[in-house]
Amino acid sequence: MKNVITLSLFFLFGIAFAFSQTETCNCKTDLDFIVEKLKKMPSYKHQIKGTKKDEFEASYKMLSAKMTQPIPVETCYKMLLEQMVLVNDVHSGLKFNTKYLSQETIDTENGIEAFKATNKFINHPKTNQNLETLEAELSQKAITDLEGLYNFKDQQTIGVYYSKNKKDLIGVVLKSDLNQWETGEIIFEATYTNGNKYNLFYYHPITRTPSFVKSISLENGRLWAYKKIGNTNNFELPIKDQSNWEFKQLTPETQYMYFGNFSSFSKKNKTAFKNFYADMKTKLTAKNVIVDLRSNGGGNSKLSDPFLKLLKKKNVYIITNCFAGSNGEQFTLKLKALKNAKHLGQTTRGIIAYGMNYGYNYNTPSAHFNITPTDMDFSKYLEYEGKGIVPEYPLDFNSDWLAQTLEIISKNN
């Protein structure tokens, strides 16, 4: 099948997976259930036509042929994900229901030792590379290389290296202060999609539960929760300790607004929005306004779009990072449509063309997995789905983003 991103099933990037877990499931029943849910999504109806429909059906038949007998649960999870990623819909998701390790087990005396006697631990995927050689080679990589040594907080050192296809990446534990991990174990597999975007199959550092997240950027030495050793710059992240609705007077001619999210689920946030919007009607007087949407995960357009009227006659400078998504991205595009707007920073997440109005989710027949289908259609933004919105002015990761933006404003004036 052409132009289809898949997850390898039994031998990924040359790493042998031993799947002799005792727990199995009827994966074919789960596959049928998931396909049924996918076919009801606006994204499926909009995208899966013609050759794409042929590819979808061919994948279903191929996977079904591998499911004639009960198969290990983790293997089933990867197969189900392989079918799901054929629909370009970053909002939709499939979760693994069972935690491999609970906090109670971790905290219990001999709990981790007992876990290490289980098949889930014994058969966890491991690298076939020599760890000393691998660490030595990765330590020599340039700070700008994607390969290298990464940290998970201050708890683990992860070696990240290319798979055989020189596109996908593997993360292996080289050092760990978390006792539930041992060196040589694979903690994530990053499948390249486009640009600097990857789909990430990973194991939760604490619970070790398999998980999957789509459209994650690898830039400035950051991939999801992993940060490259030696790269301490975090200027693409939001300013610490800001409230969800923030206003500042930066210079006599430039004001600043930060929107953390536009969620309407919280009564407190809706009240804060009303108060903030009322303030902005009188306080927003400068000709230049910086709109900071870094890590804005979206929400309800009723909490974002009213600001368009206030900003209509301003010189607007929009800042985004790779974690800005959903309605945060839609608001970015609406701001960019204003006459005097400029987009700065980093390419957004690319989770924009669909959404969830009712937030329904369903356990599969085996009860091992939970699918969250989408029910909202914003397919007019499909060109950005899984890719993100690229700024006209990429900002340097090595210095403060507000300072850079003020410099650009000064030059434009």
Q: What is the 3-state secondary structure (H, E, C) of the chain?
A: CCCCCCCCCCEECCEECCCCCCCEECHHHHHHHHHHHHCCCHHHHHHCCHHHHHHHHHHHHHHHHCCCCCEEHHHHHHHHHHHHCCCCCCCCEEEECCCCCCHHHHHCCCHHHHHCCCHHHHCCCECCCCHHHHHHHHHCCCCCCCCEEEEECCCEEEEEEECCCCCCEEEEEEEECCCCCCCCEEEEEEEEEECCEEEEEEECCCCCCEEEEEEEEEECCEECCEEECCCCCCCCCCCCCCCCEEEEEEECCEEEEEECCECCCCHHHHHHHHHHHHHHHHHCCCCEEEEECCCCCCECHHHCCHHHHHHCCCEEEEEECCCCCCHHHHHHHHHHCCCCEEEEECCCCCCCCEECCCCCCEECCCCCEEEECCCEECHHHHHHCCCCCCCCEECCCCCCHHHHHHHHHHHHC
Number of domain units in the chain: 3
Supply the pLDDT for residue 183. 98
Are 205 and 305 contained in the same domain? no
Containing domain of residue 84, as a range?
1-99+358-377
In-domain check, residue 114: no
Q: For the domain that residue 362 is a member of, what is the CATH number?
A: 3.30.750.44
**Paired tokens of 272:** 């804060």
Which among 232, 265, 294 is the end of a domain?
232
Model confidence at 361: pLDDT above 80? yes
Model confidence at 221: pLDDT above 50? yes
Q: For the domain that residue 329 is a member of, what is the CATH number?
A: 3.90.226.10
pLDDT in tens, 51-66: 999 999 999 999 999 9
Which among 200, 232, 264 is the end of a domain?
232
Supply the pLDDT for residue 46. 97
Supply the pLDDT for residue 22. 62
- What band does 4 get if pLDDT is binned at 50, 70 and 90? very low
Are 138 and 28 contained in the same domain? no
In-domain check, residue 88: yes
Model confidence at 413: pLDDT above 60? yes
Supply the pLDDT for residue 358. 78
Are 131 and 280 contained in the same domain? no
Are 389 and 258 contained in the same domain? yes
**Percentage of residues of the chain with pLDDT beyond 70:** 95
Please tell me the least confidently modeled range out of 7-11, 80-84, 140-144, 169-173. 7-11
Are 77 and 220 contained in the same domain? no
Are 253 and 226 contained in the same domain? no
Are 318 and 387 contained in the same domain? yes
In-domain check, residue 350: no
Are 296 and 373 contained in the same domain? no
Which among 232, 256, 286 is the end of a domain?
232
In-domain check, residue 115: no
Are 184 and 329 contained in the same domain? no
User: What mean pLDDT do residues 251-264 have?
Assistant: 97
In-domain check, residue 137: yes
Are 304 and 406 contained in the same domain? yes
pLDDT in tens, 168-220: 999 999 999 999 999 999 999 999 999 999 999 999 999 999 999 999 999 99
The amino acid that residue 152 corresponds to is F
Are 51 and 146 contained in the same domain? no
In-domain check, residue 108: no
In-domain check, residue 338: yes
Are 157 and 212 contained in the same domain? yes
User: What mean pLDDT do residues 68-86 have?
Assistant: 97
In-domain check, residue 253: yes
User: What mean pLDDT do residues 378-399 have?
Assistant: 98
pLDDT in tens, 349-360: 999 999 998 779
